[in-house]
Amino acid sequence: MNDISIHIGNTHVVKNARLTVRAGETVGLVGESGSGKSMMCRAATGLLGPIGGRVSHGSLLIGRQSFIGATTPEWRRIRGHTLGYVPQASLAGLDPLMRIGSQLRETIRALDGNSNAGARALELLDVVRINQPKDVLRAYPHQLSGGMRQRVMIALALAGRPELIIADEATTALDATVQKAVLTLLRDVQKETGMAMIVVTHDIGVVRQITNRLYVMNGGVTVESGPTESVLRAPRHGYTKGLLNADPSRSAFDDASATTTHPPQESASARTAVESEESP
C-alpha cells in the first residue's frame, strides 16, 4: 500500500499512508485509537464499502495485481485464500446460534472444498493448540473463554491456507497471560506455515515480541517505519517518542533488551494458565 488516502463519506481518515509486507515476515502497525490502523486493514481486505468508505488515492498491490477499484467478486477470490483476517471482537465474529464445529466446517467447505471438512476442522483446532477439540467443536461461542474464542478465530482465518494473516487488535481484550500465549501461538503458526502477518495494535510490548518491521500511524498518517528494534531503540519522530514514553512497560523493555534481542519464550506458568482455561 503506497500513498493511500481513505475517505469515509466526506471525512478524510487516512492521508498518504504506506504499508509493505514481504512474504513470510511479520509487520507491526501501531498507533493510538483513531490513528487509522483499522482503516488500513479494511482497505487491504476490500471491506471499506460496508462502512461507506473508499480508497480515494494511492496504490494497493497484492502480489502484482492492483486492487484499487476491484469488484466484489475479485475480492472474494482472495479473501480467505490469499488474505486471512483475525478481528478483535471474537464474540462479534462468531455466530452465537451455531456450534463452533458447524462454523468451522462451513468455512472449510467454502474455502477448501477438496478437504474433508470434519477432519480439517479437528486439524485446525490442533494447529491452534486446543487440547480438547471435540468438546470445543460441540460448544457454542458463549461457552468458551475469550482466549479460546480467539484461538477459534485464528483457526477460521487459517482455513483457506492464506499467504497473509491480518490480526487487527486480536489480543486487546485478553488478560496479559492469555495475550502472551495467543501471540506465541501466532508466531509459532507463522513459522510453521511460512505465511506473512500484519499485527495491528497500540501495545508496544506486543510489537516488540512478535514483529520484524514496524509502521507508526498518527492522525491517519504514517509518521515512521523501519526495523522494529531500530524504531523502538532510536525513534525519530516526536509522536513515536511520545508513544514509547507513555508505555508503562518501557523500563522493562529497556532492561530486557540490554541482555537479549530475541522474543521471549512462553513460560511454564503461561502455558499452565492457558491450559487451565481450555475447558469449554
- Rounded Cα–Cα distance for residues 136 and 120 (Å): 14
Residues 61, 65, 70, 75: what is their CA dihedral angle, to the nearest 10 degrees? -90
Q: What is the pLDDT of residue 262?
A: 43
180 vs 36: CA distance, rounded Å: 25
Contact 58, 16 (CB under 8 A): yes
pLDDT of residue 92: 81
- DSSP E strands, 60-195: 61-62, 65-66, 83-86, 164-168
The CA distance from 40 to 19, in Å, is: 9
Instruction: Going from the first residue of the chain to its last (280 residues), give the mean pLDDT of each consecutive group of 10, the final group possibly shorter.
Output: 95 95 94 91 93 94 92 92 86 91 96 92 92 95 91 92 90 74 83 91 82 94 95 94 80 44 41 43
φ and ψ at residue 183, rounded to 5 degrees: -65, -40
Domains and CATH numbers, the chain: 2-276 (3.40.50.300)
CA distances from 260 to 176, 181, 187 (A): 21, 20, 18
DSSP string, 175-212: -HHHHHHHHHHHHHHHHHH--EEEEEES-HHHHHHH-S
Q: Which pTM does this prediction carry?
A: 0.83
| CA–CA–CA angle 166, 80, 195 (5° rounding) | 55
pLDDT of 205 = 79
